[in-house]
Amino acid sequence: MYNKFLFFIFLFISTIVVAQPKIIAGPMLGPVELRDAKIWLEVSSEVKTVSILYNKKADNKSFKTVTYKGELGNDFNPITFVIGGLEFNTTYAYKFSINGKLTNNGGEFTTKDLWQWRKPAPDFSFLTGGCAYINQPIYDRPGKPYGGDSSIFETMAKEKAAFMLWTGDAWYSREVDYFSEWGLWYRASHDRAFPVLQNLLKAMPQFAIWDDHDYGPNDIGKNYILKETSRKVFNSYFCNPSSGENGEGIYTMTSWGDADIFMLDDRWWRSADKIKDSIDGKPNPNKTMFGAQQMEWLKNALLFSSATFKIITTGSQVLNTVSPYDKLKDFPAEYYELLNFLKEYKVSGVLFLTGDRHHSEIIKMERPGSYPLFDITVSPLTSGTHKFFGPEANNPMRVLGIDEKQNYGKFSFSGKRNQRKLTIEFLGIKGEKLGEWSISENELKSP
């Protein structure tokens, strides 16, 4: 009888603990601009009210409060706070109140500096990488776990970087998720709450594009029947500056220092891989990766940009012509349209940044009459690694290659005006240098 009594007491206490309102993921920094900042978190279904309290770090007395006015109490409760009226180049501290009680969760951020017309372009770095697989054995394929050493996220959290750019596959949906709206929400929520991720999420602003695995099933495109739900999930778990146009796609851009980063969507408009590349010897205009709406936006955005470096980011490789997997060359109408546009309009400073491949490399494409183009692939963060094989084993276009190793990239911009330099480091699980490459702005100038 005594043991049974203790059991029921334990069960009662456990129920109370489980039901406690709490933050289950985050905080995560979104874009931090000159005058505003986005801060994300996810709370449990027991939470009734959430507020963020913030102030200048130098002022530890008076806090301003913003209370979340959206819906709570659901299975999944991702929240984004937008804080406005901030001062540039100023550090702010923040914390949260859950159901009227202050929590220990919080952090700090620093707004951008107003350097334009006043100072030289700032030196800065950002981190990047793709393919982050979080093991969950009950839903994973049998055999050796596909996810690798997740301590790489703790290493990245210690870097002094302006932001982190996820290049796709920030989580991996499984077979049980593919055709379940609830499953798509669950996958993002489950993986975002992974404890080893939390320090990275709040250490620096986070930006992201998607690829197939955080969009839906492997290699899928425009035909995905849950694409609308997938877009809603993605926009609920990342808080990019914007998300496509007219309710379609997730493309957007951000600027930092003298670099503009164009973040493309390679899934929303993507034709099936088996659609013919060519018809009667000419590129098939109906086989698309980016779609007309996005291509029109990208062209105008590139022409508007005055940035020294223009980094076009997308999930699939752009310039690797011998890859047996996803690449823009398999969509030749858009491939030639984009390359011809860059040459015709003499767009300087362009580099491509891609993920997907589970190896890292730099591909160089010579262009007679113009500067060469480069495709920098950084992958994987924790997913299974890939070994160069077949035609790719000795790819003549490769200037640097790293296979069979987890890694992340660090892009660093430095130098005086008209002498700016980009240095790219490929770093391993513990931050060890696996490779390095650099290029100057003058090597990316159109004649």
Considering the domain boundaries, does residue 173 fall inside one?
yes
Residues 256 and 388 in one domain: yes
Residues 143 and 278 in one domain: yes
How many alpha carbons lie under 13 Å from residue 69 in its C-beta half-sphere? 3
3-state secondary structure of 207: strand
Residues 167 and 307 in one domain: yes
Considering the domain boundaries, does residue 192 fall inside one?
yes
Residues 105 and 167 in one domain: no
Residues 401 and 301 in one domain: yes
Residue 197, domain CATH? 3.60.21.70
Residues 28 and 144 in one domain: no
Q: What is the pTM of this model?
A: 0.95
Residues 242 and 370 in one domain: yes
Considering the domain boundaries, does residue 370 fall inside one?
yes
Number of structural domains the chain divides into: 2
Considering the domain boundaries, does residue 380 fall inside one?
yes
- Show the tokens assigned to 204: 């620096």
Q: What residue numbers bound the domain in which 64 lies?
A: 17-110
Residues 145 and 98 in one domain: no
Looking at 110, 137, 166, the residue that finishes a domain is 110
Considering the domain boundaries, does residue 1 fall inside one?
no
Residues 46 and 103 in one domain: yes
Residues 66 and 169 in one domain: no
Considering the domain boundaries, does residue 158 fall inside one?
yes
pLDDT digit string (tens) for the chain, length 447 residues: 445 444 444 444 444 445 799 999 999 999 999 999 999 999 999 999 999 999 999 887 789 999 999 999 999 999 999 999 999 999 999 999 999 999 999 999 999 999 999 999 999 999 999 999 999 999 999 999 999 999 999 999 999 999 999 999 999 999 999 999 999 999 999 999 999 999 999 999 999 999 999 999 999 999 999 999 999 999 999 999 999 999 999 999 999 999 999 999 999 999 999 999 999 999 999 999 999 999 999 999 999 999 999 999 999 999 999 999 999 999 999 999 999 999 999 999 999 999 999 999 999 999 999 999 999 999 999 999 999 999 999 999 999 999 999 999 999 999 999 999 999 999 999 999 999 999 999 999 999
For residue 284, the tally of other CB atoms under 10 A from its CB is 16
Q: Which of 48, 39, 99, 53 is nearest to 70 (CA)?
A: 48
Angstrom distance (rounded) from CA 248 to CA 237: 17
Helix (H) and strand (E) counts for the chain? 8, 22
Residues 425 and 319 in one domain: yes
